[in-house]
Amino acid sequence: MGDWDGNSFVKARKIAVLLIGSAVTIIGIVMIVLPGPAFIVIPAGLGILALEFGWARRWLSQAKAWISAAAQKAKGTTYHSTMSNSESTTHAASQLQLISAVEASRMLKNGEAALIDVREVDEHKQQHVAGATLFPSSIFSIDSFPSANEGQTKLLMCNRGGRATNVANQLCQSGRSDIAIIKGGITAWKSAGLPVVIGAKVQISVMRQVMIAAGSLLLVFTALAAFVNPWFLIGTGFVGAGLFISGATGFCAMATILGKMPWNR
pLDDT digits (tens, 9 = 90+) for 81-116: 444 444 433 344 445 789 999 999 999 999 999 999
Domain boundaries, the chain: 1-76, 96-198, 203-265
Alpha carbon of 4 to those of 130, 221, 226, 239: distances in Å? 58, 15, 8, 21
User: What digits encode the pLDDT tens for the residues 108-128?
Assistant: 999 999 999 999 887 888 899
Alpha carbon of 28 to those of 186, 190, 233, 250: distances in Å? 34, 40, 23, 15
**Range name among 25-39, 70-84, 92-106, 134-148 with the lowest pLDDT average:** 70-84
Angle (nearest 5°) at CA 56 between 50 and 59: 125
- As a whole number, mean pLDDT of residues 198-218 equals 77
Asked if residue 177 has pLDDT above 70, the reply is: yes
Q: How far apart are alpha carbons 254 and 136 in whole angstroms?
A: 13
Among 19-23, 139-143, 243-247, name the most confident range: 139-143
Asked if residue 38 has pLDDT above 60, the reply is: no
172 catalytic? Reply is no
E strands, 96-188, in order: 97-99, 113-117, 127-128, 133-134, 153-157, 179-182
CATH number of 96-198: 3.40.250.10
Asked if residue 34 has pLDDT above 70, the reply is: no
What is the predicted pLDDT for the residue at 35? 45
Looking at per-residue pLDDT, the higher value among 130 and 201 belongs to 130
The full DSSP string for 91-106 is HHHHT-EEE-HHHHHH
Q: How are beta strands 197-198 and 127-128 bridged, if at all?
A: antiparallel
Looking at per-residue pLDDT, the higher value among 26 and 192 belongs to 192
Looking at per-residue pLDDT, the higher value among 187 and 140 belongs to 187
Q: Is 189 helix (H, G, I), strand (E, B) or coil?
A: helix
Asked if residue 157 has pLDDT above 60, the reply is: yes
Asked if residue 215 has pLDDT above 80, the reply is: yes
Q: How far apart are alpha carbons 229 and 136 in whole angstroms?
A: 39
Identity of residue 185: G
Q: Do 46 and 56 touch, CB atoms closer than 8 A? A: yes
Residue of 158, 206, 255, 258 marked active site? 158
What is the predicted pLDDT for the residue at 81? 42
